[in-house]
Structure 1
C-alpha cells in the first residue's frame, strides 16, 4: 500500500526501511548503472583512495610519537581500519548497491538515520576531495621545481584566504581546479575507463613506494631499532591514532555496488584485497625508512620520504621521481573520492532524497553526467577559494561515524535477517563488529569539541532538508518501493 508522503512526521515514517532482500538480489527501483568493474579494478579503487599523501608524510608526525615502535602503531591502525573493512565486506555482499553506508543504513536503521549518514559521507568525500586537490597543487609545484627550477606564481597557486597565520595567499588555486576538471571528464566518460586509469596510476604509485623501500634497505641498520619503544605504550597508541587516517578510503569500494560485476563476491574480495595491499605497503615503507634513518631525525622532516632518498643517494634524482609519484598518487585519490561522492548522490536521487537530476544517467556514457558536473563545480570552488584546514577533523568524524554505522548494521542484519544470502561473513562475529565500534568510538572521543559543534551544525542542516524535501519525495513514502515489513 502506498504511503502518504505528506503525512504527519511520525516514528513509522522517519524510520521506514528499504527492503533488504530486493537489494541482495541486485534489484533496484529507478535508473540503473552498467556493471563493468571487475575484482582487480575495484581493489585498485580501494588502494587508490587509501594510499595518498598520508604515507609520503605521516612518518614525520608518527615516528617522533612512538620511535621505532611506530611499526606496531601501523599494525594497530591497520587492525582498527581492518575491523571496519571486514564489516563493510559483509554489508557490501548483503546489500550490493551503490551508496555505501547510506544504503546500508537505509536498509537497517531507517530513512532519517540514512540521511544523517549521508550528511557524514558527503562531508567526508566533498571536503577531503577538495583538500586532496589542494595538496596535489603543492606537490605538482614541488615536482615542477625539481625538474625545471621554475615555480608557479603564488597568484595561481594559493586560495585568497588561509586558515594558517602567515601562510602564502593568492587569487585562485588553479592547479587544484584543473585536477578536479580532469577527474570530472574521466568520470563522465565512463566508470570502466575511470577504473582503468585509476588502476594504472595505482600500479605506478605502488612501484614508486617499492622503489623507495629498495633504496632505503641499501642503508638499513638494525641498531636503529635498538631503543624500540622510547615513549612507551602511550606513544604507540598516540601514533596509531595519527596513522589511522592514512587508512581512510577503503570504504570507496562500497560506493560502486551498481557498477560491479557479481557484486556479492567481488566487493568483499576487493575490500579485503585492498586492505592487505595497503597494510603491506605501509609496513614495508615504515620498516625500510626507520632502518635507513635514526628515528630522532624524522621530526620536522617536511619532505618526508623524498628527503630520506636524497640523504641516502646524495642526489635529488630519486627524490624527484618520488615527488612525481606523489603527484600521481594524489590524482588517483581525487578521482576515486569524486567517483564515490557522485555514486552516493546518485543513490539518494534514485531514492527521492534529492532531486531526480542527481539520478539521471546518460544513455551514451551510462554515467550520471549532471550529478558529476555539480560535484566537480562544488569541489573546485572549495579547492580554489576556501581554506579547508579547520574542516579536516570534521571529515574524520564523518568517516568514523560511517564506520560505526556499518559495524552496527552487520549486527542488526544478522539478528533481523539471519537467512539473508551473504557472499562474505564477518569472522569472529559478534566480537569483530563490536571491537570495530569500540575502536572508532575511542578515536572519536579524542577529537576537539569545536569539531563536534561544526559537525553537528552540518548534520542538523541536512536533516532539516530531509524533513522539508526528502521525506515528502521519498520513493518509499510515495509507494514506489514497498517498505520492509515491521520496518518502523
Structure 2
C-alpha cells in the first residue's frame, strides 16, 4: 500500500507540472527567437539570467504553495502578506496575461499551421477561428486535463530530445557563443526585458493546489521540477538554435523551432510542427480556464461584481469570465502582430511574482504559517524570497526602461480593475 500511495503521489506531482509546463514552455517557444536575435553573441548569458529568474520564482512559489493546501494561488499567497487590495492587484495583473496568452497561443499556432501547410490566408483570421473553437470548448465544460497534459509533455520531450541530438551531432559548437561569435546584439536591453518574461506560467502551480492529492508535498516538488526542467529545456534549445542557425536564417523569430527542424532534420519537421501547435493551443485553452478561474475567485471573495461568479445554467461553467476572455482576446488578435503580444505579455505576471516574493518574506518573518518546504533563512527572511524579489525587481526595471510606452495599457487595465473593486466594496 505504501508503494502504491507513493506512486500515486509521484504521478500527481508530474500531472501538476505537465499543466504548468505548457504555459511556461509556450512562452519560451514564442520568445526564444526574439531574445536571441536581440542578444546576438550574448544570447546564452541572457538565457542564463532568465533561467536564474525562473528558478527563484519557482522555488518561491513552491515554498509559499507548501503552506496552502487549497485552490487560490496568487490570491491566497499575496493576501496573507499584503492584504485584500494587494491580492486583488496581483490577481488582476495576472489575469490580463491569461487573455494575452490566448492571443499569442492561437496566433503562433496559426503561423505554424500556415508556414507548414503553405496556405495563404491572414494569420489573424485562422487565430480567431481557433480562439472561437477553444472558447466553445471551455464554455461547454472542456478544461485542461492533467492526463492530456502529461501525454503532450511526454511527446514533446521525445521529439525535442531527438531534435537536440540531431543538432549537436551535426552542428555542435562550443559555448558560450556557439556559431554566433562576433554577432553584435541588436538591443541587449530589449533581450533582457524579454528574458525577464520568457518563462511564465509558474503561477498555475498555486492554482492547482486544491486539485492535488497531497498538495503540501506535491506543490514544492512540482515547483522544483518546473525549475529544473524549464531551465534545462531553455538552455539546451537556445544552445541548439545558436549552433545550427545563423541570425540571417531566422526569417521569422516566432517560427524558430520549425526553421531549426527544417535545417537540421527535415523528417522531424512534422513532429516538431505538431508538438508546437499542441503546446500553443493547450496554452491558449489554459488561458481561457485560468482567467475564468481567477476572476471567479475575486468575485467569490466579493472583490469584483457577483456577475463574474455566475455559472452557465446548463454547462455550469463561468461563462461571464470566458466570454470576457474571448472578446478581449479577439481585440489582441485583430492586428495580427505577434511582436505586439511579445512586447506586452507577462509584465503583469512579473509584478505578480514580485508580490508573491514579498509576501513570502513577510509571512515567514512574522512566523504566521509553517511550510513543508523550508529554504535557508537570512535574518529571518527565506533565501527564496530574497532571490525572487531581487531578480523580479530587476526584470521589472528592464521592462520599464525598454517598454515604457507599452505600460499605458497595463495602467489602463489596473484603473479599470480598481474601479470595479471600489464599486464592489462600496456596495
Scaled by the length of structure 1, the TM-score of the pair is: 0.73
1:223 Cα offset (Å): 5.7
- Checking the alignment, whether the CA contact within 8 Å between 2:12 and 2:213 is kept in structure 1 is yes
* Residue 208 (structure 1) aligned with residue 181 (structure 2): no
In the alignment, which residue of structure 1 is the partner of 2:396? 444
2:101·2:283 contact (CA, 8 Å) conserved in 1? no
SS in 2 for 1:98: coil
1:153 aligned residue: 121
Alpha-carbon distance change, 126 to 226 in structure 1, aligned in 2, over 3 angstroms:
closer
2:149 to 187, 194, 198: 198
* Matching of residues 340-351 of structure 1 within 5 Å: 340-351=290-301
**2:28 match:** 54
Matched-pair contact (CA < 8 Å) for 2:180–2:242: no
Q: Conserved in 1, the CA contact under 8 Å of 2:101 and 2:345?
A: yes
Q: How far apart are the structure 2 equivalents of 1:226 and 1:290?
A: 6
Tell me: CA distance 1:226–1:260, structure 2 relative to 1, closer, same or farther (3 Å): closer
Equivalent residue for 1:84, pick from 45, 57, 65: 57
Distance, in Å, in 1 between the alignment partners of 2:321 and 2:153 is 22
CA separation of 1:49 and 1:351: change in aligned 2, threshold 3 A: same
Per-residue deviation, 1:239:
4.2
**TM-superposed deviation, 1:305:** 3.1
Q: Could you tell me how far 1:100 is from its partner in structure 2?
A: 2.4
Q: 1:112 to 1:329 in 2, by over 3 A?
A: same
Distance 1:423 1:152, change over 3 A: farther
In 2, the alpha carbon distance for the partners of 1:227 and 1:395 equals: 30
Q: Is the 8 A contact 2:141 2:317 kept in 1?
A: no
Q: 1:412 to 1:322 in 2, by over 3 A?
A: same
CA distance in 2, matches of 1:423, 1:187: 36
Equivalent-residue separation in structure 2 for 1:97 and 1:177 (angstroms): 35
Partner of 1:97: 70
> Are the counterparts in 1 of residues 66 and 217 from structure 2 also a CA contact under 8 Å?
yes
How far apart are the structure 2 equivalents of 1:133 and 1:221? 33
What's the CA shift for 1:177? 3.4
The structural deviation recorded for 1:401 is 0.5
Structure 2 residue aligned with 1:265: 217
2:240 aligns to what?
A: 288
State whether residues 26 and 283 of structure 2, in contact with CA within 8 Å, keep that contact through their aligned partners in structure 1: yes
Return the alpha-carbon distance in structure 2 between the equivalents of residues 49 and 349 of structure 1: 24
Q: Report if aligned partners of 2:20, 2:201 keep a CA contact under 8 Å in 1.
A: yes
* Distance across 2 between alignment mates of 1:40 and 1:419: 29
Shift of 1:351: 0.6
Corresponding residue of 1:25: none
Task: Compare the two structures and name the one with the higher helix fraction.
Answer: 2
The equivalent of 1:8 in structure 2 is none
For the 8 Å contact 1:46–1:271, the answer to whether it is kept is: no
Between 428-437 and 221-230, the greater mean CA deviation after superposition: 221-230
Partner of 1:218, secondary structure, is helix
Match of 1:432 in 2: 384
8 A Cα contact 2:296 2:321, kept in partner? no
Contact 2:250 2:256 in 1 (8 A): no
Q: Equivalent residue for 1:385? A: 334
Q: Distance in 2 between matches of 1:56 and 1:386?
A: 17
Identify the range of structure 1 (433-442 vs 38-47) with the bigger mean alpha-carbon deviation: 433-442
1:482 is aligned to: none
Alpha-carbon shift at residue 226 of structure 1 (Å): 6.8
Shift of 1:57: 6.0
Contact 1:187 1:339 in 2 (8 A): no
Instruction: Say which of 362, 370, 378 aligns to 1:421.
Output: 370
Q: Distance in 2 between matches of 1:451 and 1:56?
A: 19
1:250 equivalent in structure 2? 202
What secondary structure, in the 3-state scheme, does the structure 2 residue paired with 1:353 have? coil
Q: Distance between the aligned counterparts of 2:327 and 2:375, measured in 1?
A: 37
- Please show how residues 215-364 of structure 1 align to structure 2 within 5 Å: 215-222=166-173, 225=177, 230=182, 239-293=191-245, 297=248, 300=251, 302=253, 303-313=255-265, 315=266, 317-359=267-309
Q: Give, in angstroms, the shift of residue 187 of structure 1.
A: 7.4
Unpaired runs of 5+ residues, structure 2, are 1-10
* Residue number in structure 2 paired with 1:466: 421
Aligned alpha-carbon RMSD (Å): 3.4
Computing the radius of gyration from Cα coordinates, the structure with the larger value is 1
Superposed displacement of residue 356, structure 1: 3.6
Change (3 A) 1:270 1:364: farther
